[in-house]
Structures are given as structure tokens and as C-alpha cells.
Structure 1
Amino acid sequence: MNTVLSSPHAIGARSVGNVMGLVLIALVPATLAGFWRFGWPSVYLWLVTILACVATEVLCVRLRGLSAGKAVFDGSAVLTGWLLAMSLPPWAPWWIGVVGGVFAVAITKHLFGGLGQNLFNPAMAARVMLLISFPVEMTQWLLPTPDALPGALDALAITFGAGAPDAMSSASLLGHIKAEATKGVLLDQSLPGHYSATAFGMGERQGSLGETSALLLLAGGIFLVIKGVIGLRIPLAFLAGVVVPAAIASAVAPDHYLGPVAHLLSGGVMLAAFFIATDYVTSASTPLGQWIFGLGCGLLTWIIRTWGAYPEGIAFAIMLMNATAPLIDQYTRPRIFGRKRDGRSLNPAETVKARAR
């Protein structure tokens, strides 16, 4: 009996486990910074989310008659859980991580055939599902207070009990601006006291576990580029897709549109540009296609942030572009010498012209 396998999405000497390991290493600095800022509840949520993803992975591969050990040690389930945890409110209840982890692995990944065959990024699909299904739990943001965090035992009551106290929850910058804009309040009135480029760059702001420290995420992304795990096309295109329209809109109407630096430092732009949009499986693979894919992710992020119903649009933007990635690859694949882009052979006269070009 023949076994049908999907073609590789990346060709090279590195194994899947090696690539996943390097990505996890790149995430460590920003993750540790998040633990320090948000305390033990964020550690517990991170652990629960990863364990949920790994347990679901083992169950799914066993049901499919595959090797559970190989599936676990390739690191893909750990990375999915890690990225999902990085995109959650740090004091969210434990069941948010479990529901999200099960959905990410069982529905988004294995329902499509498993590793290398999923259409959507599992972590982003799970985040969208959680945001739509549990909007209250998914929008409880905390201002980092390292000096006033609960101890390990008290944190258990937060993660596995009643959750974060309402008095400690507040809106993120993007949520605050959108809420004020619906009241007709302009940026020059709503922004002061809620935004500082220096503070946001260092992670001193409300947000999910992994999106607070933009500089550490940037450092991790540069590490991946140096190691050759990711290229620069998608990250640069993603950042340009956010920065260019934000700069134009802010220059035209500064009282209505947030500036490009604030967009880069708020939300999960850095996390998405270097760690999520660059996913081998769900992104475009041709050189031109990667530029288009990244630009689309960034532009849609800015559009949803500016005019959408949700303050943050990254997960929606990436999923929309995931759906278009096969079509982008189809129309941007390099032409083979002697053949047209659709694969048909050139006649001799056309071959001479192609060689002359």
C-alpha cells in the first residue's frame, strides 16, 4: 500500500525539530520578560497552553495510527502552544489555554491532515476563535507591575480560580483609542498619558504575554534571520504594510490616525512579522509571493485596526492571507527556462527571445 505525503515546504539540511528549536530559543527573551512583568499567572497559563497542545497532538497522532513520539519531539506542538500563549491575556483563566490549544492542534492542524498540510496558522486560528467566543476573557489586559505581583500560591487562585480581578483590568492602547474614537474624542486628547514610545518599546504597557517587549521580539527575529531560519522578505513587507499607510494617514489627519511608530510598538506586530507570518506551511513560498503576502498581512492589520470592529487585526489579517497563499504562489511562481508560466513549452522563436532577455 502506498503512503501519500505532502511535499516539503522547506528544503535543507535542518530537520523540523532543529528549526522549531531555534524558533523557541528566539522566543525565550521576550517570554522571560513577560513572566517578569506579569508574574506567576502568566507562567501557569503558558504551561497549561503548551501542555494542552502537546496532549492533543499525542491523541490525534495516535488516532491516526502514527508515531506519537516523533510528533511530540519535532517541536511543532510546543511551538503552537507557545505562540498561542504569547497571544493570550497573561492572566486569562486556565481553560482559555486548554480550549485554544485543542482547537489549534485538533481542528486547525490535524483536521487538514497534520503537520505541513494545514491551511491556516494554528495559533492565530485559535486566537480568533477564542476572541469571538469569549470576548470578555480575551480582552482583560493588565498594566505590568513587577513589584506588586502575586506569589506562586496566590497566582494559582487567579489562573485556576476566579481569574484576574476586574479592578486590575484595563484597556490596551489600541482598545482605548478605538473606544474613545467612537465617542468622537480625537487622538490629541485620548493619546496623552497612554502612550510613550520608550515605555512601549521596553514592554511597559498592557498587552498579551508575548507582545509587550517589541525590542526583544525584534532581537529574536534578527537571530532567526542570522541563523537562516527565516528570510527578510515577509517581515520587511509586513512592517512596510503597517508603516506606510499609517505614516500617510497620520500625516494627512494626525488627530484621527495613529502614527507608524505607535502601530509598530503596540499590539503584536513584531511577534507576527517575525514569528507567525513567516510560518513555512501557511505563507507564500515564492520570492515575489512572499513580498505580496507580507504586504497583505501588514496592510490588512492596519485596515482592521483603523476601521474594523476589533482593536487588533493581526490574527484576522494573517488568516485572510493564509487563505490566499496558494493562489499567490500559483501566480508568482518563477518561469522555467523554455516554458511559459503556465508550464507550456515555448516554441523555438519564443525560446530565442527569452534567452535574449
Structure 2
Amino acid sequence: MSPQELAKQIFKEKFNRTSTLNVYAPGRVNIIGEHTDYNDGFVMPCAINYGTAISGAKRDDSIFKVYASDLKQFDEFSLAEEITVNPKEKWTGYVRGVVKFIQESCPDFKQGADLVISGNVPLSAGLSSSASLEVAIGKFCQQLANLPISNTEIALVGQKAENQFVGCQCGNMDQLISALGQKDHLLMIDCRSLDTIPTPVPHNIAVMIVNSHVKHDLVAGEYNERRQQCEIAAKFFGVKALRDVSIETFKQRENELIALDEKVAKRARHVITENQRVLEAVEALKQGDITRLGKLMGESHDSMRDDFEITVPQIDYLVELAQLVIGNKGGARMTGGGFGGCIVALAPLDKVEAVRQIISENYEKQTGLKEDFYVCTASQGVVVC
């Protein structure tokens, strides 16, 4: 059963009435452009056909009563009082944070609701289950009280909730693609201007995602540390963000930065070269040059492994296996924040079974972990359904 159907069904069971408002927001996979978003750079994700559904209905008071069906847990808070963190359950922070910051821009928003959340984005896999939840909650609030906020603003509220309420200093990519995704397209996003360039996925190309089952939790320091290192590098170059540093400028001053802090230099090198790779990937896709795109994905993975140091051996092994089959007909790389999670691979449809097979025959034997394999389609962003 789809999350949308499940949310409606469970709402009826838990609240003994029929939902009147149903929204759905997708998760995402990032094809190229990792850790560039919070550096005001470029990313190229697509929304995927896994996401978060919310079914609900108005109450006649200011209470939000929320049931997370996957976790079988309730949370309840009032929109008439200051919204604070519930220290017992992490998931409630994403809901409460979004509602709190929507109230900040729409102070009259006090409409209570009963709602059920149901999702099928694999948790802790780097496919943005949290952003999908934030955007779904934002859209639900907008529709519930007919609030004058756009999908882009909903995405930025979601990012703010994650930064300031949950405590993960993520960029804006995950929320933006969940809010703005286009069916059958990758979306190049300029994370500074928020301009987007939709780029069609070539019709015979599959988007494969393989979950390594090495769990990651980005709030636990490593992500925030990388962000601080990027800020130190930007300060060194005297710019607002690493987006403003060209590869030529970096090379001219690279040794100076290495002498100051070798790790910071490596982080900067990744971000600056990754931004360039995203721009080149857009051109490659426009020309239907899947070989060039695959090469850029490979370079991106090497950079994440060697310069940004966010891959783990299991992820490197999955990329290696996928690449053996794909050859020069596509590419594979780690996707998401790092330290576990998933790889993404693009290849012709006729390569999918061979990629699935080589991974299922070798990965568990080598690592003791069993992968999950998904073939995804590029999907529409948040919708009322």
C-alpha cells in the first residue's frame, strides 16, 4: 500500500473520521553536487518515487495532534503557546520546527489539526526522509490555513527547522528538490539565487539507488564540522562562500592554505571542483553524453573519498562493483551527507539487472551487510493529493 493510502486509512482508524486534507512530498537522490549547497553552490538532484504522506483534518482548537504511523508514536502541542523541543523523540523536532517557523512568517496561524504521517523513504539512508517530512508538514500547514507562502518558502522553512530546531546545519538542497522537483527531470539548483534548470533524464537511463545499510546520523558532529571547515576556507579567500572561488584562484593559493590547515584545504578543493563538475554535468546531459556524466560522477566520488573524507569502505566497494558493470555507459558515486547511506548509479536500462546481480553476489559476502536496491524515477515535488 502506498504511503498516501496508508495515511488516509490510519487517520480513519486513529481519529475516527475521514481526512479532508492529504499532501505528499518526495524524498530525493542527488546525482552530483555534494556538500556544495551550504557553500552557496550548485547541485543536481531529482525527486524520487519514495516520500512522506500526511492525511489530516482541522480541529476546532489550536492543538496539533500528530501520529507517526511508522513509529507508532503520538505527539501533541499547541499553536497558541510557544512551540518548544520535545527532547524524548527526535522526529517531533521536524514537525514542531516547521510549524514554529511558519508561525514566524504567518503569526496568525493558530489553526489546530489532527494528522497522520506515513512514509516509505528509507530512514538514515541519505535520501532525505527528514526534508520530505518537513516539506509535507509545511504544505499541510499552508493548505490547512490558506497561508500566503510559496513552495520555495516552504522549503526554506524546512531548512530553517533543521538548522535551528533540530541542530543539523544542512544546506537547502534537500528541501528545495522535495518542494520543486519535476517529473522525469533532474533539477540543477543554484543554492544562492534559488534559480533552477530542469534537465531531462535521458529516456533509456535508469536511476539506481543502493542502500549500504551503514547508518548515518548527520546531527552527530561530522557534518557540522565540515561546514565549519568550509567557512574557514571562505574566510581565507576573503569571500562570502566557496562558491565565489574559481579553480584558478584556488590553485594559486592552495599551498598557502595547506600550510595553514591541510584539512581545510582539502575540504575547499572538493567544494570548488564539485561546483565545476555540476555545471559540466548539465552540459553533458543537454548533449545526451552519458559517458561524460559518468566520468564526472566518478571524479565526484573520488573527491568525496579523498578530499572531503565522507565515504566509508562499504560505500566505496558498492561504487566499485557498480562501475565494473556500467563501464563508460554511465556512472556511480556516493550520494547524500556521507558516513554511510547510499550510492546512486546512472546507466542504461539494460544494465540494471547486471548491476543488481554483481552487488547481491558480492556485497554481503564482503561486508556482512545486506543491501537494498531501488530503481527510481524522477518525480514531481510536493503535491496535494
Q: Give the TM-score, by structure 2 length.
A: 0.23
More RCO (CA 8 Å, sep 6+): 2
Give 1 or 2: higher strand fraction.
Answer: 2
Q: Give the TM-score, by structure 1 length.
A: 0.24
